[in-house]
Amino acid sequence: MSELSRSGGGLPGVGLVRNRARTKANIKELLFPTTLDLAHGPLLSRFLKTPVVVLSAHFDDACFSLGGLLETIHQGTLINVFTAGRYLAKPRKESPQEADVFIIRDAEDEQFAHACGLCRIDLKCKEPALYGRHVGDLSGVAADLEQIMEPVLQAIAKIAAGFREWEKGYLFVPLGIGHHCNHRALNELILQNLDAISQNYEVLFYEDQPYAASPFNRLTALLRVARRLDTSITARYVLRNDWAQKKSLIEFYPTQLRTPPRRWRFRPAALSPLSPHEAFWTFPLNGAPHVAE
């Protein structure tokens, strides 16, 4: 990361906690957080004129989790991390070859990026299947982390080097909801390097969809991240989606959909709002050590 520490206005509605006594996050404050509607606040307008970077574990994750927001912002950089693999949701008669799958999935993602005005960066890291591992095998997180550490940090540092003096960008990163080892590895990378990354970016943890539709997995991830960062002050930002619009974005990825997308699968299991929406969290850095679990 650049040695230059960039300043920037904090996010509205979020108190700074660096000098406060540390308190552990609890379930109540994550079930009933300060919730801010992006449609009725200044942050959305900031996204329109400030560098926005999105870390996506795979070609489809940014769309599934933040597609409506990214289409609204219509600018930014999309970094796809694990893009070498053989996975297609719809089975075929013959096992697909890695090169063929890449071409198909890359083309799907290009359509989404074009619709949202995004520039793309492909890190070409390998998915678990190429190592003979199942995506739900969390014992592979360490290996995935080792694979992605240098390319991810270099990519976001290179982007930050192009910021204006004292400018700070917004970096969207996954909460790591669920048991997909790639999502967990990418989340772990951010937790381990948050102090350095925060010099150049406001880090925003987005709810991985469709995994966030599971109440248990969602709350577990929120508790894990909040406790790792040792903070009890959080804010949740939401953007209500027009389902027809969000569905049209999801459908850019037909090879990743076993069935037509349903609105209940692409709604985080939050107490509110009950309508389809996208969400991300802020977890103010509190000086806690970032060590792997």
pLDDT, position 93: 58
At residue 158, the 3 state secondary structure works out as helix
- Residues 62 and 286: their CA atoms lie apart, in Å, by 27
Per-residue pLDDT tens over the stretch 169-181 = 999 999 999 999 9
- Residues 255 and 276: their CA atoms lie apart, in Å, by 23
**Do the Cβ atoms of 280 and 237 come closer than 8 Å?**
yes
Residue 15 in any domain: the answer is no
Residue 114 in any domain: the answer is yes
Residue 14 in any domain: the answer is no
pLDDT, position 32: 87
The tally of domains found in the chain comes to 1
Could you tell me the CATH number of the domain that includes residue 254? 3.40.50
- Tokens 């904090």 label which residue? 10
pLDDT, position 284: 72
Provide the token pair at 70.
């990214």
Strand partners, 168: none
pLDDT, position 48: 94
Residue 115 in any domain: the answer is yes
Provide the token pair at 71.
């289409």
Residue 289 in any domain: the answer is no
**Do the Cβ atoms of 249 and 67 come closer than 8 Å?**
yes
pLDDT, position 20: 38
Strand partners, 120: 78
Residue 178 in any domain: the answer is yes
Helix (H) or strand (E) holding 115: helix 98-116
Sheet with 77-84, side-by-side order of all strands? 34-37, 235-240, 277-282, 201-206, 169-174, 52-56, 77-84, 119-126
Residue 18 in any domain: the answer is no
Residue 214 CB: number of other CB atoms within 10 A?
Answer: 16
- Residues 22 and 273: their CA atoms lie apart, in Å, by 30
Residue 52 in any domain: the answer is yes
pLDDT, position 26: 77
pLDDT, position 204: 96
The segments of the chain whose pLDDT lies below 70 read: 1-25, 91-94, 232-233, 285-293
Structural domain that includes position 72: 27-282
